């Protein structure tokens, strides 16, 4: 750990002379005297002495750089010139003010699973949240305060051990706020809504370095905006979130592997299950993939599907009888503590779904119902593509169906998250009354780590992603809509932030107020990036 106290006097001197030397600070990011090519050593000398002892500043020559800047998404990634790790929350306003004074763009990074290609427009300083992971359960046990670097797996484990649960993403590897600032889909949303629905307070550092509290009492308009479009507005140093007593001691999970000839039967049963899930919040989520499993076949993609139920098998079994009747290649199940569910269902920190270092050329859309005809077309296209180009045989299509009871219980006007009532507004098919929030798929052009970039493969994968998206949309019966946290970055802004005009108007007027120079414009920005 680099400590700066030794440099303190020297560094402070340097910093002061620098500030006096520059005629005026360059706050709009457009001035010609950007110091973007400043070295990390120089930043360490100037900024380091102002920060707490546990903070670090380092560049590409430091052994920590590679692991700290490793990303899930290596396709069109941001360019990181240096990393600053605040050692405490109070460091963050100082980092932002220093960056502004020197016109250095900054990007908040927590678990580095941000997917969108808009991140690729970034060049500058990574503000790394990795040292800010404290969790403090508040007196009375109805909320807890989490620092800005808290992540799903950590939160699930910590709270469960103490007898609580809260809304998180499903994958143990992702941050709380990456998902939470854009909604935050997860296993407890059927009970309590999304992560954003449970935010009581955010401690935020704004674009100008000012630290403020955002709550119903303080900047309530910003609270509205940050529950759905929060990446556009600030750095959250910590936040208060509702927590709930754990109601059951175990969850039941069941994973199946089916061959493709079961596709029609399986999706027909899934659509029936949704009718029941609509009234059963315990049917928390079921999700699955198309992909190759070498132990079944190295050339033909199989269907993997995983179900989780908040409670024991004896209560859950009624929902599984229909699936048990579909002959499977492989089945596994178990009753485990909730904290064991990510690992049991393919979304644990160390499992392939979470792995960093690959390129994912993806596309995504929300759906309302599984269209069995579309699913067949999408599977067949998958099979055709991996046969044509075995280099992308590690790709998957992922499909998720979350319980929406808790999400729909929240008035859609009360937050910037635009899609909770979308089902009702766009319901077009009278024969399919179930409107669920099934959604997402990634198409991943999986290149091995260190695989040389290959633009012909990128083009192949991008074409495939688009063709698949078109098949989904053609069969969905509703206009395309995108979860902002799954966006590829090429979607229309309204498709991420809502088609009702008042939503973007309100967001943009708040943006003009809180981030007029677009410091936070790298994650699906509601206004275009300025540099
Ligand atoms: C394998 C995988 C699983 C996923 N599972 C889920 C899921 O179950 N549910 C779900 O809803 N989404 C899920 N997602 C999508 C996820 O919400 C986004 O990828 C999210 O951006 C990841 O956050 P992160 O902290 O891991 O990534 P980062 O790249 O570190 O952060 C993403 C962005 O969030 C912002 N940000 C992060 N921390 C802060 C902070 N403290 N203050 C202000 N801004 C901040 C920054 O703009 C940053 O660019 C998943 C994605 C992947 C790749
Ligand atoms: C930084 O870049 C500017 C413009 O490209 C150049 O004039 C200057 O010499 C560079 N400074 C350093 C320290 O490399
Ligand atoms: C600094 O880090 C050490 C070791 O991780 C920790 O014990 C200490 O509490 C930290 N200090 C502050 C002020 O955060
Ligand atoms: C692949 O199939 C085998 C059973 O044949 C199973 O044990 C394994 O978990 C599967 N792998 C994945 C990633 O689903
Ligand atoms: C359940 O289905 C009904 C009828 O389609 C719908 O009106 C309602 O919004 C759904 N509720 C949830 C929580 O999905
Ligand atoms: C790039 O991909 C093409 C197929 O699109 C393949 O023929 C070629 O060998 C790849 N090049 C490298 C360096 O892997
Ligand atoms: C399902 O998808 C097919 C193929 O796109 C389409 O023709 C059909 O209308 C869709 N069915 C429904 C109910 O939307």
Per-residue pLDDT reduced to its tens digit, 278-295: 789 999 999 998 988 989
Query: Which residue ranges make up each domain of the chain?
Result: 2-128, 135-245
Q: Which long-range contacts (CB under 8 A, 24 or more apart) does 494-502 make?
A: 496/524, 497/228, 497/229, 497/416, 497/418, 497/526, 498/416, 498/418, 498/419, 499/418, 500/418
pLDDT score for 358: 77
Query: Which protein residue has the closest C-alpha to ligand 3 atom 5?
Result: 54
Residue 397: the pLDDT is 87
Domain 135-245 class in CATH: alpha beta
Centre of ligand 4 from the C-alpha of residue 299, in Å: 15
pTM of the model: 0.90
- Mean of the pLDDT values across residues 17-28? 41
More confident residue, 476 or 439: 476
Residue 27 has pLDDT above 50, yes or no: no
Is the pLDDT assigned to residue 531 strictly greater than 80?
A: no
Distance in Å, CA 129 to ligand 2 centroid: 29
Distance CA 521, CA 207 (A): 11
User: Residue 299 — very low, low, confident or very high, per pLDDT cuts 50/70/90?
Assistant: very high
Q: What is the pLDDT of residue 454?
A: 63
Q: What is the predicted pLDDT for the residue at 449?
A: 31
**Residue 355 binned pLDDT confidence (cut-offs 50, 70, 90):** confident
Please compute the mean of the pLDDT values over residues 86-97 and round it to a whole number: 98
Identify the pLDDT of residue 473. 92
Mutate to test the pocket of ligand 6, among 388, 447, 456 (most ligand atoms within 8 A of CB): 456
**What is the number of the ligand closest to the CA of 489?**
1
**pLDDT tens track for 44-75:** 999 999 999 999 999 999 999 999 999 988 88
Instruction: Pick the ligand that lies closest to the CA of residue 130.
Output: 1
Same topology between domain 2-128 and domain 135-245: no
Higher pLDDT, 29 or 412: 412
Rg (CA), the chain: 23
**pLDDT at position 421 over 90:** no
What span, in angstroms and rounded, lies between the C-alpha atoms of 137 and 242?
Answer: 10
Confidence of residue 352 (pLDDT cuts 50, 70, 90): confident
What is the average pLDDT value for the chain, to the nearest integer?
Answer: 86
Q: Does domain 2-128 have CATH number 3.40.50?
A: no
Highest mean pLDDT among 227-241, 289-303, 412-426: 227-241
């Amino acid at each position: 750990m680099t400590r700066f106290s030794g440099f303190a006097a020297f560094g402070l001197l340097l910093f002061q002379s620098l500030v006096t030397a520059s005629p005026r600070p360059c706050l709009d990011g457009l001035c010609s005297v950007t110091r973007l090519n400043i070295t990390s050593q120089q930043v360490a000398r100037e900024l380091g002495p102002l920060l707490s002892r546990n903070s670090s500043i380092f560049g590409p020559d430091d052994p920590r750089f590679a692991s700290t800047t490793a990303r899930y998404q290596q396709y069109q990634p941001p360019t990181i010139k240096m990393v600053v790790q605040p050692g405490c929350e109070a460091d963050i306003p100082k980092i932002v003010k220093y960056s502004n004074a020197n016109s250095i763009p900054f990007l908040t990074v927590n678990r580095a699973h941000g997917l969108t290609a808009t991140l690729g427009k970034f060049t500058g300083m990574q503000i790394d949240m990795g040292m800010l992971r404290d969790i403090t359960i508040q007196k009375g046990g109805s909320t807890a305060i989490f620092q800005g670097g808290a992540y799903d797996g950590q939160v699930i484990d910590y709270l469960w051990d103490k007898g609580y649960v809260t809304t998180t993403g499903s994958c143990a590897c992702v941050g709380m706020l990456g998902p939470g600032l854009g909604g935050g889909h997860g296993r407890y949303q059927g009970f309590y809504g999304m992560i954003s629905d449970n935010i009581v307070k955010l401690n935020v550092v704004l674009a100008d370095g000012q630290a403020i509290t955002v709550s119903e009492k303080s900047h309530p308009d910003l609270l509205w905006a940050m529950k759905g479009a929060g990446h556009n507005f600030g750095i959250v140093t910590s936040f208060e979130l509702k927590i709930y007593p754990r109601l059951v001691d175990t969850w039941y999970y069941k994973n199946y592997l089916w061959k493709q000839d079961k596709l029609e039967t399986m999706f027909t049963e899934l659509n029936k299950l949704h009718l029941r899930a609509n009234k059963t919040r315990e049917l928390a989520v079921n999700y699955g993939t198309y992909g190759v499993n070498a132990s079944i076949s190295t050339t033909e993609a199989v269907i993997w599907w995983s179900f989780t139920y908040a409670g024991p098998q004896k209560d859950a079994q009624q929902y599984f009888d229909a699936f048990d009747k579909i002959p499977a290649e492989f089945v596994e199940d178990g009753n485990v503590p909730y904290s064991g569910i990510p690992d049991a269902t393919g979304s644990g920190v160390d499992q392939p779904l979470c792995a960093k270092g690959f390129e994912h050329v993806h596309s995504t859309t929300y759906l309302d119902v599984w269209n069995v005809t579309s699913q067949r077309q999408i599977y067949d296209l998958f099979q055709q593509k991996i046969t044509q180009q075995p280099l992308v045989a590690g790709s998957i299509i992922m499909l998720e169906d979350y319980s929406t009871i808790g999400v729909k219980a929240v008035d859609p006007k009360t937050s910037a998250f635009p899609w909770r009532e979308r089902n009702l507004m766009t319901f077009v098919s009278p024969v399919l009354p179930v409107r669920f929030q099934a959604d997402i798929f990634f198409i991943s052009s999986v290149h091995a780590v260190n695989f040389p970039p290959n633009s012909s493969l990128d083009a192949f994968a991008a074409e495939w992603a688009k063709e698949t998206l078109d098949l989904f949309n053609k069969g969905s019966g509703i206009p395309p809509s995108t979860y902002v946290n799954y966006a590829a970055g090429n979607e229309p802004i309204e498709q991420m932030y809502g088609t009702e005009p008042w939503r973007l108007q309100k967001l943009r007027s708040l943006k003009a107020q809180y981030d007029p120079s677009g410091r936070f414009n790298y994650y699906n920005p509601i206004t275009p990036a300025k540099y």
